Amino acid sequence: MAVEEVQGADVLAPADPGEAAEAVKASRVVVPRGGGTKWGLVAARMASVAGTQGGVRIVDTTRLAGILQYDPAEYTVTVLAGTRLDDLGQVLRRAGQYLPFDPPLAGRGATAGGAVASGLSGPGRLLRGGVRDFVLGIRFVDGEGRLVRAGGKVVKNAAGFDLPKLFCGSLGELGVLVEVTFKVLPAPPSSGTARFGFDRLPDAAAALRRLLRTPLEPDAVDLVERRALQAASGPEVAGDDPWSLWVRVSGEEAHVAARLDRVEDVVGAPGARLHGPPEQALWDGLRDLDWASRAPAVLRLHTTPGRIERLDEALQRLGALRHYSVAGHVAWAAVESVPARSLVVSELAGLADAALALRGAQGSPHVLMPGEGFARRVKRALDPAGRFGGNG
Amino acid sequence: MVSDPAALRVYETDGLASERQMPLTVVFPREADEVVATVRACFEDEVAFVARGSGTSLSGGSVPPPGGVVIALNRMNRILRLDPDEQRAVVEPGVVNAHLSQAAAPYGLYYAPDPSSQVICTLGGNVAFNSGGAHCLKYGMTSNHVLGLRVVLPDGTVERLGGSSLEVPGPDLVGLFVGSEGLMGVAVEITVRLLPKPEAVRTLLAAYGSLQQAGEAVAAVVESGLLPAAMEIMDRLAIEAAEAAVHANYPKGAGALLIVELDGPRDEVESDFVRLHELIRRSGATEVRVASDDAERLKIWKGRKGAFSAVGRLSPAYLVQDGVVPRTRLGEALCEIEQLAAAAGLRVANVFHAGDGNLHPLILYDGRRHGERERAEELAAAILRVCIRQGGSITGEHGVGLEKRQFLGEMFAEDDLRAMARLRREMDPLGIANRGKMFPPGFEEAGEAGRALLPSAAAG
Ligand SMILES: Cc1cc2nc3c(=O)[nH]c(=O)nc-3n(C[C@H](O)[C@H](O)[C@H](O)COP(=O)(O)OP(=O)(O)OC[C@H]3O[C@@H](n4cnc5c(N)ncnc54)[C@H](O)[C@@H]3O)c2cc1C
Ligand SMILES: Cc1cc2nc3c(=O)[nH]c(=O)nc-3n(C[C@H](O)[C@H](O)[C@H](O)COP(=O)(O)OP(=O)(O)OC[C@H]3O[C@@H](n4cnc5c(N)ncnc54)[C@H](O)[C@@H]3O)c2cc1C
């Protein structure tokens, strides 16, 4: 197993699941790491376990890479956790399939394990579901260094507790993932995007909600502030409108344009259309947070379409750049620093269910999270000695 | 509260009629607080309890634990909030699945998970079993539609999990609770996602000479890249039963029927349907029918949804199995089931969610004939082992319950089960929530003894 030293922490790079288990057993505190794309999450963990007696080990999973099982007719694929999502995406594409949850930062080396552990999905999760809806099975090393398997490799399975879902968003605090089985779907043959400009957020949010009530099945609906777009894509895409609503539909090429016409009817205005590489670039940029790449701190807030206007007022008071994704279920806010938890609680009471600091966190990356008592029990069960930090 | 023996008898069993256990008592809470009080009392006196919806579990999940209390939730059946703009509903656990879609219909919305028992089963039961239905292929299971929960843990603590957003940070606690078979406590409030009703729905029914041909048609549809909302197969015996019971007017003499449904935006459904129709016509179907209106569509589904109960007419008793095999090995699995049934001298009817590889072999038997029930159970076990051997699962949607406990240990290794048992123990140190379900017989007790030996026990 390769060992190097980073930031005063040893880095162990196991080459197989057995070595990963050994690495955990041999360490007092372990921070799992994938492709290095969500450094904020790892950095926050490093900060929270710094100074631990006996030192902190990073378990780097990037050598645990490779596709173990893929039969397109099964709609499932099993990979080692360190497999890069872009490598996996290429293999799926050749078979006309894809991961509909639209994992962020795939192009930057994000891994399967890191995607599941961070539980983040992109704008495309709107129609078919998020990462949690596509993880069928996992194998992980628990806090005692045991290799545990849960879930399965078929698209439907109700046997035993659903640990695969539990691990979505677990941020390496419950175990080191060594293997993941995803459900995949046929990729839509084509797509098209319409952009609508708005002067006022309430009008844009109302149009967004009208769209959701239709059976038009848009697969992405995002609402972005001009300043954020400018940072991502430059002035020509951003346009002059303070807010823009981006609606993507997918399907047979013959129907995409007609469906966008119907989207325009619902919004009540003509939209500017994007297709092909510029369309792809726009959504990649939004998904990978290009617009927030220079922000010292980035928050992800979990809300609902009906709360956009009120939440926006609060985020404005925090001085944030705003991007509402997944039709308003996710709010991204780029800020100067992560606000104190108490401020988040008082400002956002009732406006967001929860918040996660993706970058710039001090201490715990969870700024606000429901079910903490339940989560502590889960933690005690899988990591009783607190090897993965956060010994709640 | 009920303690009259005659009245208690109703709660002795569930959809798996062969398992019976007299409850100590039955309580009928109307409010969440009453559930909390009941659970606390059980915790203090170390009395086991089971939450119960409509008792349609086919795996014995709602059979009372010995000496246990039944918490019957049917009276907590209010839809607390239905918010069309947010496309969500907040409901009490006793709300019947189909009632929710009825309530949402005036807003053009519906609740997607549709178990065949949807006109009687409750959302609490659906949550506990992560129930599925015919439309899982495209829409996923219950778990994909539950946003938030308020749960009473087995020590009486109340927790809120998730919220009303599609996304949550942190470990997916809602995802863990859903499908935990009542072993982690009682759901007293459920927030679910509602979807806009699809603009267009197209359904076709194809008859084949053999089960194998129907299976090949499914493979061809999957390969084409179409994403149907549902793909269901019934075999000869199931067709016969459905015909006799609901007169669905299915094609005569078919060896197997395939139902395929597409839904979505009109333009897309229409062009996909042309492709589908062509595919099916080339698949060796002896007859293809296309539902021309809602009434015809409902009639097609009526036979399928009523198939379980219809089989009751062919036989004094039957066991419903619920195994999953890799979709590409469906044909192989069905052949093996046929051979096993012949060897056992028993009839098996198959109706199943073909698109998901989720089999429902119905094993017909006559309990009055000596040894027949035992043979039926042995056949059921052999079928589950076929699923395990092929890399599938012992349950796709009905849960492990009481019925399949020993098979969980065949599907998972000891360390896997122990991880689950540790979770169970943190949630429920006394093991009172639905005691005796899901884990292999004797496993939890052995787990307790084994725990003292683990160095981790002290640290936890
Ligand atoms: C701006 C920036 C600054 C950086 N600065 C530094 C630096 O100062 N020092 C340094 O050493 N490196 C640095 N890096 C590189 C980077 O640290 C690592 O490669 C990165 O920490 C690991 O990526 P990740 O796990 O966050 O990726 P992801 O794979 O995206 O992981 C996200 C989350 O998932 C968890 N996780 C990942 N894989 C698993 C798994 N298999 N099982 C369970 N949990 C898992 C992680 O613990 C984390 O919580 C930097 C990178 C960037 C982009
Ligand atoms: C004819 C027929 C067809 C069926 N078809 C399908 C199908 O297509 N798909 C499918 O998935 N299932 C099907 N089932 C099985 C069954 O209907 C489902 O499992 C259903 O979800 C059970 O709901 P219930 O309200 O009857 O629950 P019950 O049988 O009362 O309970 C089931 C389990 O849930 C637990 N439970 C109930 N309420 C709560 C609560 N509030 N909190 C915590 N735990 C709770 C119980 O303890 C028990 O373990 C079918 C059953 C029948 C009889």
Q: Which of A86-95, A138-147, B26-35, B298-307 has the lowest mean pLDDT?
A: B298-307
Reduce the DSSP state of residue B249 to 3 states and report it. coil
B206 secondary structure, DSSP code? E
Distance between CA atoms of A342 and B21, rounded to whole angstroms?
51
Q: Is the pLDDT of residue B407 over 50?
A: yes
Of B165, B171, B393, the CB nearest to A157: B393
How far, in Å, from the CA of A111 to the mean position of ligand 1?
Answer: 10
Q: Please, what sign has the CA dihedral across residues B217, B218, B219, B225?
A: positive
- Note the pLDDT of residue B81: 98
Q: What are phi and psi of A376, to 5 degrees?
A: -65, -40
The answer to whether B453 contacts chain A (CB < 8 Å) is no
Distance between CA atoms of B243 and B33, rounded to whole angstroms?
47
Distance between CA atoms of B230 and B291, rounded to whole angstroms?
15
For residues A196, A199, A205, A208, the Cα torsion angle rounded to the nearest 10 degrees is -10
Q: Which of A84-93, A278-287, A302-311, B168-177 has the lowest mean pLDDT?
A: A278-287
The answer to whether A381 contacts chain B (CB < 8 Å) is yes
Q: Residues 38-67, chain A: which have Cβ within 8 Å of B?
A: none
User: pLDDT class for B452, splitting at 50, 70, 90?
Assistant: very low
Residue with tokens 């014995």: B60
CA B460 to chain centre: 35
Q: How many CB atoms lie within 10 A of CB A361?
A: 23
Q: What are phi and psi of A342, to 5 degrees?
A: -65, -35
User: pLDDT class for B450, splitting at 50, 70, 90?
Assistant: very low
How far, in Å, from the CA of B106 to the mean position of ligand 2?
Answer: 27
Q: Residues 218-237, chain B: which have Cβ within 8 Å of A?
A: 219, 222-223, 225-227
User: pLDDT class for B124, splitting at 50, 70, 90?
Assistant: very high
Residue B179: name the closest of B396, B425, B327, B391 by CA.
B396
Q: Is the pLDDT of residue B453 over 50?
A: no
How far, in Å, from the CA of A69 to the mean position of ligand 1?
Answer: 26
- Note the pLDDT of residue B5: 81
Average pLDDT for A320-342: 90
- Note the pLDDT of residue A88: 96
Distance between CA atoms of B387 and B361, rounded to whole angstroms?
12
Distance between CA atoms of B389 and B11, rounded to whole angstroms?
36
Distance between CA atoms of A330 and A300, rounded to whole angstroms?
7
- Note the pLDDT of residue A8: 63
Q: What is the pLDDT of residues A283-321, one digit of tens each?
A: 988 888 888 888 888 889 999 999 999 999 999 998 999
Give the atom of ligand 2 at the shortest distance from the alpha carbon of B134. Answer: 8
Contact (CB<8Å) B170/A171? yes
By CA distance, what is B172's nearest residue in A?
A166
What residues have CB less than 8 Å from A76, skipping those under 6 apart? A69, A70, A136, A153, A154, A155, A181, A182, A183, A184
Residue with tokens 């299915």: B250
B142 secondary structure, DSSP code? G
- Note the pLDDT of residue A392: 41
Reduce the DSSP state of residue B80 to 3 states and report it. strand
Average pLDDT for A16-37: 91
Q: What are phi and psi of B257, to 5 degrees?
A: -120, 145
Average pLDDT for B126-139: 94
Q: What is the pLDDT of residues B283-306, one digit of tens each?
A: 999 999 999 999 999 999 999 988
- Nearest ligand to residue A8 Cα: 1
**Structural tokens at position A166:** 């539990």
The answer to whether B443 contacts chain A (CB < 8 Å) is no
The answer to whether A288 contacts chain B (CB < 8 Å) is no
E strands, B276-412, where? 287-290, 317-320, 323-324, 347-353, 358-359, 361-365
- Amino acid B254 reads A
How far, in Å, from the CA of A58 to the mean position of ligand 1?
Answer: 9
User: pLDDT class for B455, splitting at 50, 70, 90?
Assistant: very low
Distance between CA atoms of B117 and B307, rounded to whole angstroms?
11
User: pLDDT class for B417, splitting at 50, 70, 90?
Assistant: very high
Percent of chain A surpassing pLDDT 90: 65
Distance between CA atoms of A390 and B280, rounded to whole angstroms?
56
CA B257 to chain centre: 22
Strand partners, A23: none
Contact (CB<8Å) B271/A252? yes
- Amino acid B226 reads L
Contact (CB<8Å) B222/A143? no
Q: Is the pLDDT of residue A175 over 50?
A: yes
- Note the pLDDT of residue B457: 37
**Structural tokens at position A52:** 């631990």
Q: What are phi and psi of B398, to 5 degrees?
A: -95, -5
Of residues B363 and A2, the one with the higher pLDDT is B363
Residue B184: name the closest of B444, B409, B429 by CA.
B429
Tell me the best of A39, A45, A46, A120 to mutate to test the pocket of ligand 1, counting ligand atoms within 8 Å of each CB and taking the most. A39
First to last CA, chain B: 38
- Note the pLDDT of residue B169: 85
User: Which residue, judged by its Cα, is nearest atom 52 of ligand 1?
Assistant: A39
Contact (CB<8Å) B395/A150? no
pTM of the model: 0.94
3-state secondary structure chain A: CEEEEECCEEEEECCCHHHHHHHHHCCCEEEEECCCCCHHHHHHHHHHHCCCCCCEEEEECCCCCCEEEEEHHHCEEEEECCCEHHHHHHHHHHCCEECCCCCCCHHHCCEHHHHHHHCCCCCCHHHHCCHHHCEEEEEEECCCCCEEEEECCCCCCCCCCCHHHHCCCCCCCCCEEEEEEEECEECCCEEEEEEEEECCHHHHHHHHHHHHCCCCCCCEEEEEEHHHHHHHHCHHHHCCCCEEEEEEEEECHHHHHHHHHHHHHHHCCCCEEECHHHHHHHHHHHHCCHHHCCCCEEEEEECCHHHHHHHHHHHHHCCCEEEEEHHHCEEEEEECCCCCHHHHHHHHCCCCCEEEEEECCCCCCEEECCCHHHHHHHHHHHCCCCCCCCCC
The answer to whether B193 contacts chain A (CB < 8 Å) is no
Q: Is the pLDDT of residue A116 over 90?
A: yes
Of A129, A160, A326, the CB nearest to B144: A129
Residue B155: name the closest of B52, B66, B38 by CA.
B38
- Note the pLDDT of residue B129: 97
Q: What is the pLDDT of residues B10-28, one digit of tens each?
A: 899 999 888 899 999 999 9
Of A304, A330, A384, the CB nearest to B86: A304
- Note the pLDDT of residue A390: 66
Give the atom of ligand 1 at the shortest distance from the alpha carbon of A43. Answer: 21
Residue B169: name the closest of A128, A365, A114, A338 by CA.
A365
Q: Is the pLDDT of residue A391 over 70?
A: no
Tell me the best of B49, B56, B135 to mutate to test the pocket of ligand 2, counting ligand atoms within 8 Å of each CB and taking the most. B56
Q: Residues 109-168, chain B: which have Cβ within 8 Å of A?
A: 129-130, 132, 136, 140-141, 143-144, 148, 151, 153, 157, 159-168
Residues of B in contact with A133 (CB under 8 A): 140, 143-144
Mean pLDDT of chain A: 89
What residues have CB less than 8 Å from B281, skipping those under 6 apart? B288
Residues of B in contact with A157 (CB under 8 A): 324, 392-393, 395-396
Residue B131: CA count within 13 A, CB half-sphere: 24
Of residues B457 and A344, the one with the higher pLDDT is A344
Question: Which of B393, B418, B439, B444 to substitute to test the interface with A, most A CBs within 10 Å?
Answer: B393
Q: Is the pLDDT of residue A364 over 90?
A: no
Q: Please, what sign has the CA dihedral across residues B310, B253, B337, B231?
A: negative
